[in-house]
Amino acid sequence: MLMETLRALCPLFGPSGFEDAVRDYIKEQVKGFADRMEVTPNGTLLVLKKGKAAPKHRVMLAAHMDEVALIVQSVDDDGFLKFKCVGGIDRRVLPGKPVFVGEKQVPGVVGMKPIHLTTDEECEKVPDPDDMYVDIGAAKREEAEKLVQEGDYISFDPAFLELENGFVCSKAIDDRIGCAVMLELIQEELPVDTWFAFTVQEEIGSRGAFGAAFTLEPEIAMVLEGTSAADVLGRKNEAQVCGALKGPVLSLMDKGSVYDRGLFRLLLSLAEEQGIGWQVKTRPAGTTDAEAFQQTRRGCCVCGISAPVRYIHSPSCVGNVKDFEAMKVLVRAFLEKMEDYDG
């Protein structure tokens, strides 16, 4: 079930600031299950699902709908599209990747200087996006501008691939996996009343999370995310961050948040009780929406569960369904404890 939900969510077009298709899909899926639903002015979807009891403290789960992408900056005289990155994209993997431009989903490919014109010095460096372009096959500016325009978003190939041993490959697994877990929980009977925030513009600074936090004033917030798995090419210890097939990733801190110690310990104990493998994020890299939730009004106790994702922020993220399913089990076990939880 979780695999099919992820298969439906990942291909959707949802760059930061243009999450409409993702939000519309989720809204349609939660009809008949949600007790309340609203959209904030900047596009975050807030859903209340009532459970068997009221929690002692207002609880919110959050996952972001947006994905990293590109945006058309200009069109040159030869019909090539110059672009900027939206979010923290691993630019090493951009050249040669198929892309789709704008709402019309005009197909194209990321190009750069031909290899025979590239100097030895340039070959030793990671290419800069300013030296790349998107080729849609147009012969000149006027031809390209009939199909695309400045400000159009450029998304990656929406193909969803099933690899061996339960691994899947797609764009936007970060953070459609968090959205998938929340969507499925809304469709189930819950132990406590729970707010779900499907946030926007996380990849460019948690813009939607601030609005969600000020609207709902949660006292306990759990962020569901994807995080970088570097269990390839012999990466070890703190440089690895986490690894696939080792279970959900629990965070103590990152560059934007120090996570609540009590909630962290609760998640550890619940993972042990459920027989779920777990791992602690060994390197405090990156930020999540937790940063915004902690800073709202009176503040909020935050915790996070992440899915290990290889090649994150690239057109070809890879993760394992076993890790994803374990993530959902742990989130549900967490909600079971919220009726009487008091820190």
Residue 235 lies in a domain: yes
The helix or strand, by DSSP H or E, that contains position 279, with its residue range, turns out to be: strand 279-280
Position 235 scores a pLDDT of 53
Distance CA 186, CA 145 (A): 43
The last residue of a domain, from among 102, 129, 156: 156
Structural contact between residues 75 and 116, judged by C-beta atoms closer than 8 angstroms: no
Residues 58 and 77 in one domain: no
Query: Is pLDDT above 70 for 240?
Result: no
Residues 208 and 61 in one domain: yes
Residues 151 and 210 in one domain: no
Residue 162 lies in a domain: no
The last residue of a domain, from among 102, 126, 156: 156
Residues 292 and 197 in one domain: yes
Position 287 scores a pLDDT of 83
Residues 190 and 293 in one domain: yes
Residues 48 and 89 in one domain: no
Residue 221 has which token pair? 């917030």
Provide the residue range defining the domain that includes 137. Answer: 69-156
Give the pLDDT confidence of 197-220 residue by residue, as tens digits: 999 999 998 898 999 999 999 999
Give the pLDDT confidence of 79-132 residue by residue, as tens digits: 999 999 999 998 888 999 999 999 889 999 999 866 665 666 666 677 778 889
Residue 203 lies in a domain: yes
Residues 143 and 206 in one domain: no
Q: Mark whether 28 is an active-site residue.
A: no
What CATH number is attached to the domain comprising 84? 2.40.30.40
What CATH number is attached to the domain comprising 285? 3.40.630.10
The last residue of a domain, from among 90, 124, 156: 156
Residues 268 and 316 in one domain: yes
Our count of domains for the chain comes to 2
Cis peptide bond prior to 175, omega within 30° of 0: yes
Position 119 scores a pLDDT of 65
Could you give the dihedral angle defined by the CA atoms of residues 10, 13, 14 and 16, in that order, rounded to the nearest 10 degrees? 130
Structural contact between residues 45 and 26, judged by C-beta atoms closer than 8 angstroms: yes
Residue in 67, 202, 203, 291 annotated catalytic:
202
* Tokens 């009176």, residue located: 298
Residue 163 lies in a domain: no
Distance CA 331, CA 329 (A): 6
Residues 37 and 56 in one domain: yes
**DSSP letter string, 287-341:** --THHHHHTSTT--EEEEEEEEEBTTTSSSEEEEHHHHHHHHHHHHHHHHTTTT-
* Tokens 């031809």, residue located: 143
Average pLDDT for 187-192: 97
What's the burial of 306, exposed, middle or buried (CB within 10 Å: 0-12/13-18/19+)? buried
Question: Which of 92-101, 231-240, 284-293 shows the lowest mean pLDDT across its residues?
Answer: 231-240
Average pLDDT for 218-224: 96
Confidence of residue 317 (pLDDT cuts 50, 70, 90): very high
- Positive or negative CA dihedral for 86, 89, 92, 96? negative
Mean pLDDT computed over every residue of the chain: 91
Query: Is pLDDT above 60 for 41?
Result: yes
Residues 257 and 327 in one domain: yes
